[in-house]
Structure 1
Amino acid sequence: MKSRDSLNAPEALVLTMVLVSAADGGITDGEIGAMSGQVQTLPVFHDFTTAQLQDVTDAAVQLLREADGLDRAARLIRAALTPNLRETAYALACEVIAGDRRTKDESLRMLDFVREELALDPLIAAAIERGVRARHQQAPTRA
């Protein structure tokens, strides 16, 4: 992160993904893969490098270890993101959770926290959740 006092939009999006990923006590390989895939493919991360992803992830984990880290992270994210990018942040958070087949209650509670902190319209949040769920469906196996 460029500064502990402010973030740019891609940094705030990564911080959001780290929030939900780290909520259950650690970041899994599946979650890292989901975050990396988003950074490599989405236009909002066009000039964002893998090295930056690692730096921001490390700084985000350090921030969350601070006494007021979660509240501070929420303030930084809100300040860095326009309303349309807040929807993107929520979609990315949902993607990270969906990428981890062993989602825990802590991650879902953190997703609720993110939705509330970003002040998303409940209908928009539900639509984002449903879209992510549809993308992560698996075909039944044949016997």
Structure 2
Amino acid sequence: MPLPTVHDAIIYLMVITSASDRDMTDDELARIGEVVKSWPVFTDFDRDKLVEVAQRCQELLHREGGLKAVLKDATRAIPSRLHDTAYAAAFEVAAVDLEMRMEEVRILQMLRGSLDLDPLTCTAIERAAKARHRMLT
């Protein structure tokens, strides 16, 4: 099977993060849409294909060894200069409700390892995302 495109791979990481607790919430799905719509890395992505890409990821996840295979292929498809961007996109989805479930924490640990990101970079990405999602009340 061919590697996903870079866009598809980043979307896969967001879907994996959202689906980690087996409950893709409306807020998480909306955040994926917002990231695809507003982040410069997706400038030349056809937004009409977002649902198709997310569904393809879900299908791949349901195969034997699905999570590991999707994670491996996505990591290979994303250039190293975009590894921090990919992690930031995935963390955006996890941070949308400001509550980390154990499944999300585990997926994020796997992503950090697969993307070979240093702890300080991850901490900076995580703090920035949490700050963006805070509310007054």
Coarse TM-score class (shorter-chain normalised): over 0.9
Tell me the residue number matched to 1:90.
87
- The alpha-carbon deviation at position 26 of structure 1 amounts to 2.5
How many residues align? The count is: 137
- Deviation digits for residues 45-77 of structure 1, max 9, x if unmatched? 112223211111000001111111111111111
* Whole-angstrom distance in 2 between the partners of 1:136 and 1:60: 26
Q: Per-residue deviation at 1:78? A: 1.5
CA deviations over 1:14-49 (Å, ceiling 9, x no partner): 000001000001211001100000000111111222
Match of 2:29 in 1: 32
1:107 is displaced (CA, Å) by: 1.3
Contact 2:98 2:130 in 1 (8 A): no
Residues 26 and 125 (structure 1), Cα distance of their counterparts in 2 relative to 1, 3 Å cut: same
Match among 62, 66, 71 for residue 69 of structure 1: 66
Write the letter of the residue equivalent to 2:37.
Answer: Q
Structure 1 unmatched ranges of 5 or more? none
Q: TM-score, normalised by structure 2?
A: 0.93
Name the residue aligned to 2:106.
109
> How far apart are the structure 2 equivalents of 1:9 and 1:88?
11
Q: Report if aligned partners of 1:28, 1:100 keep a CA contact under 8 Å in 2.
A: no
1:8 positional shift = 1.2
Identical-residue share of aligned pairs (%): 35
TM-score, structure 1 length as denominator? 0.89
Distance 1:122 1:102, change over 3 A: closer
Backbone CA RMSD of aligned residues: 1.3
Q: Distance in 2 between matches of 1:65 and 1:14?
A: 17
Q: Please, which runs of 5 or more residues in structure 2 have no aligned partner? A: none
In the other structure, the counterpart of 2:78 is 81
Runs of 4+ in 1 over 6 A off after TM superposition: none
Partner of 1:136: 133
- Name the aligned partner's letter for residue 125 of structure 1: C
Say which one has the larger Rg.
1
